Amino acid sequence: MRTPSSRPIVSPILILSFGLLAVSTASILIRFAQQDVPSLVIAAYRMALATIVLAPIAVTRHKTELRRLTRKDLILACTSGLFLALHFATWITSLEYTTVASSVIFVTTTPLWVALFSPLFLKEPLPRLALVGMGIALVGSVIVGLSDSCRLSAAGLACPSLADFLQGKTFLGNFLALVGAWTAAGYLMIGRRLRAKMSLVGYIFFVYGIAACILVGIMLAAGQKPIGYPPQAYLFMLLLALVPQLLGHTSYNWALRYLSAAYVAVVTLGEPVGAIILAYFLLQEVPPALKIFGAILTLVGIYLATRSEKP
């Protein structure tokens, strides 16, 4: 399903790269916010604040468009919002039960699920070069994740056993991260379909709003409160809404009008790479050699996938 209405003025790949840089700030902002705020509250604030910022534009300029949505479009948009809400709820919560490395490994399987289901639901078969690039990027992303718990020495590579991934709370955390990958895949594929007929602001306002309502409901059902946190925590959550959500995810949704869902999913694998770079400059965190190697592989894979994509 490749039906863009017109060629974009700005390169979708350029916009996608900008969005990737913006989304890369999320892990750092979440790390700061999690010092005082539960994960579900962070996710709820992220989506609610983004929706509030969009509301004046959506209500004044896109009200007619939203009213004209068909029943099928409404169901798809609500499902996309549900997937987005579950993605944030499961992935962020997974970090409370498993290591960052394990969570990254499972959540970065998103492109695999998009590649598996895009030919079926979107009629978008992947070129061979895109598959090769996806494979290399996935390997690089896994290496980035493993670098937090694996060590490269003269004796070779030492990693935790498979049993560490499949027991007790760790297993729950890994499963939540995998659910985060499934829901992210659904969110991207539905976005690819609806962005062919909906404006950017109309689509993201509706989807972000549905996600916000669901996350607020989950937060309250879990007995967590939206108030009573330090002022700096609210600043971090506001920045989460403005930078990785409104600038980052919105760039992804804009690009979905011109690029395949599978390609956008592959580019999201660059988020840990961007986070590594930002952490080096903002937190003075020097990445180990294994993580740098994985980051390079990820970028090479994304580059190869780029070569196969023609917006």
The DSSP string of the chain is ----SS--SS-HHHHHHHHHHHHTTHHHHHHHHTTTS-HHHHHHHHHHHHHHHHHHHHHHHSHHHHHT--HHHHHHHHHHHHHHHHHHHHHHHHTTTS-HHHHHHHHTTHHHHHHHHHHHHT--PPPHHHHHHHHHHHHHHHHHHHTTT-EEETTEEE---GGGGSSHHHHHHHHHHHHHHHHHHHHHHHHHHHTTTS-HHHHHHHHHHHHHHHHHHHHHHTT--SS---HHHHHHHHHHIIIIIIIIIHHHHHHTTTS-HHHHHHHGGGHHHHHHHHHHHHS--PPPHHHHHHHHHHHHHHHHHHHH---
Average pLDDT over residues 15-42: 89
**pLDDT bracket for residue 286 (50, 70, 90):** confident
Q: Name every residue whose Cβ is closer than 8 Å to that of residue 143 and which is 6 or more positions away in sequence.
A: 290, 291, 293, 294, 297
| Under 8 Å between Cβ of 248 and 20 | yes
Closest CA relative to residue 299, chosen from 180, 139, 127, 145: 139
Lowest mean pLDDT among 61-70, 124-133, 140-149, 171-180: 140-149
The residue segments making up the domain with residue 241 are: 12-308
According to the model, what pLDDT value does residue 245 have? Answer: 95
Q: Does residue 225 lie in a domain region? A: yes
Query: Is residue 310's pLDDT more than 60?
Result: no
The Cα–Cα gap between 297 and 17 comes to 17
| Under 8 Å between Cβ of 127 and 308 | yes
Q: Does residue 20 lie in a domain region? A: yes
| Under 8 Å between Cβ of 217 and 89 | no
According to the model, what pLDDT value does residue 218 have? Answer: 94
Q: Number of folded domains in the chain?
A: 1
Instruction: Select the more confidently predicted residue: 155 or 219.
Output: 219
Query: Is residue 3's pLDDT more than 60?
Result: no
Q: Does residue 4 lie in a domain region? A: no
Q: How far apart are the first and last CA of the chain?
A: 13
pLDDT digits 0-9 by tens, 68-121:
999 999 999 999 999 999 999 998 888 778 766 667 777 777 887 888 788 777
| Long-range CB contacts for residues 61-65, cutoff 8 Å, separation at least 24 | 61/201, 62/199, 62/201, 62/202, 62/205, 65/198, 65/199, 65/202
Q: Does residue 5 lie in a domain region? A: no
Q: Does residue 146 lie in a domain region? A: yes
Percent of residues, the chain, with pLDDT higher than 90: 40
Closest CA relative to residue 253, chosen from 308, 179, 184: 184
Query: Is residue 8's pLDDT more than 90?
Result: no
Q: Does residue 54 lie in a domain region? A: yes
The Cα–Cα gap between 148 and 241 comes to 27
Model pTM score: 0.81
According to the model, what pLDDT value does residue 262 have? Answer: 80
**pLDDT bracket for residue 309 (50, 70, 90):** low
Strand partners, 157: 152
Instruction: Select the more confidently predicted residue: 100 or 28.
Output: 28
Q: Name every residue whose Cβ is closer than 8 Å to that of residue 122 and which is 6 or more positions away in sequence.
A: 1, 189, 192, 193, 260, 261
152 backbone dihedrals φ, ψ, rounded to 5°: -100, 120
Q: Does residue 1 lie in a domain region? A: no
According to the model, what pLDDT value does residue 1 have? Answer: 43
Instruction: Select the more confidently predicted residue: 210 or 174.
Output: 210
Closest CA relative to residue 145, chosen from 178, 106, 174: 106
Query: Is residue 161's pLDDT more than 70?
Result: no
Query: Is residue 295's pLDDT more than 50?
Result: yes
- Average predicted confidence (pLDDT) for the chain: 84
Q: Does residue 7 lie in a domain region? A: no
Provide the 10 A C-beta neighbour count for residue 15: 18
The Cα–Cα gap between 131 and 301 comes to 9
Query: Is residue 4's pLDDT more than 60?
Result: no
46 backbone dihedrals φ, ψ, rounded to 5°: -55, -50
pLDDT digits 0-9 by tens, 235-248:
999 999 999 999 99
According to the model, what pLDDT value does residue 252 have? Answer: 92
Average pLDDT over residues 148-176: 68
Checking DSSP bridges between strand 151-153 and strand 156-158, what pairing results, if any?
A: antiparallel
According to the model, what pLDDT value does residue 2 have? Answer: 45
Percent of residues, the chain, with pLDDT higher than 70: 86
